[in-house]
Amino acid sequence: MLILGLETSCDETGVALFDTERGLLAHALFSQVDIHVEYGGVVPELASRDHVRKTLPLIEEVINDAGITAAEIEGVAYTAGPGLVGALMVGATLARSLAWGWGVPALGVHHMEGHLLAPMLEEERPDFPFIALLVSGGHTQLVRVDGIGRYRLLGESLDDAAGEAFDKTAKMLGLPYPGGPHIARLAQQGEPGRFDFPRPMVNRPGLDFSFSGLKTFTLNTVEACRQNGELSEQERCDIARAFEDAVVATLVIKCRRALQQENLHTLVMAGGVSANANLRAELKRALAKEQAQVFYPAPMFCTDNGAMIAYAGAQRLLAGQVDGAETRVRPRWPMEELLPVEGAA
């Protein structure tokens, strides 16, 4: 089954073609970072307008790259939530219009399910059941996954997600949006241990996260250093290192705790923060002690992309799940409400 996938939940326009027999045929991505960087974050109206401009040209691009015709497409999957409502509506209305014109089914896909299943695009894939750490945008979640659509939330961020904390810390240090890659580059030059940042909520039972206190601690450290004048480049690097080490240590501790609690030995990590090299290295080292494996998407599929939506949509369309007559998007959408896919466990 050949599926066209569209991702327009936030500030990246992703399009892909996935074939259930041949795999990923083509994909394309346009990032709006240059549009939003001057505002220090995503402007929803600008994001929606740019999706309108970019989605159709990207669809034409992937069809040409795959060497197929539109008549061969057998279904259209699109991100229906969670995300920015205007951006979601762009993808939903276009996807359903194309599906209607082509006479094929359409299906709205959960954005976080797309991230969770992104490692399935790789040659080496995890087997169910596993623990998933989802660190994307405003989400930081630990989920037990027993199959496609069989999800149990174990813990989540009670305030700022890890990605949001990276963005806000970057702004404190005078770094551009998005903050994660810039913090990581500075941290490479930082002196380990010069600043000792707290690991939030690791001394409490449970698997929830909280990064707002860490953000405040970072701000206090920045202000203390500025009492002697502007931050030096080394101080910026050392603060970035201390912040990144604190986030990484917190995520690693909670992942180990989740695996032990659920008596599992497989972890999947997905979402933009999963591209962080320090986090990958520390997780690999820590989980080796647990005789556990960790799986990631390819770096190009860590951030929002059409390939993950095409894959997730293909699994559900194969199972006979299709949209009804109503076009509906959901800016907030708990994954536990998703229907299971029979035979996918």
Annotated binding site for substrate: 134-138, 167, 180, 276
Q: How many CA atoms lie within 13 A of 214 on its CB side?
A: 35
Length of the chain: 345
Residue with tokens 């094929």: 104
> DSSP letters of 305-342?
-HHHHHHHHHHHHHTT----SS----SS--GGGSPP-T
Which helix (H) or strand (E) is 18 found in, with range?
strand 12-19
224 neighbors 174 (Cβ within 8 angstroms): no
Provide the annotated binding site for Fe cation.
Answer: 111, 115, 304
Compute the distance between CA of residue 183 and CA of residue 173 in angstroms, rounded to an integer.
9
135 neighbors 161 (Cβ within 8 angstroms): yes
Alpha helices in the chain (DSSP H): 33-36, 44-66, 85-102, 111-117, 162-172, 179-187, 212-225, 233-262, 277-289, 306-318
Provide the annotated binding site.
Answer: 111, 115, 134-138, 167, 180, 276, 304
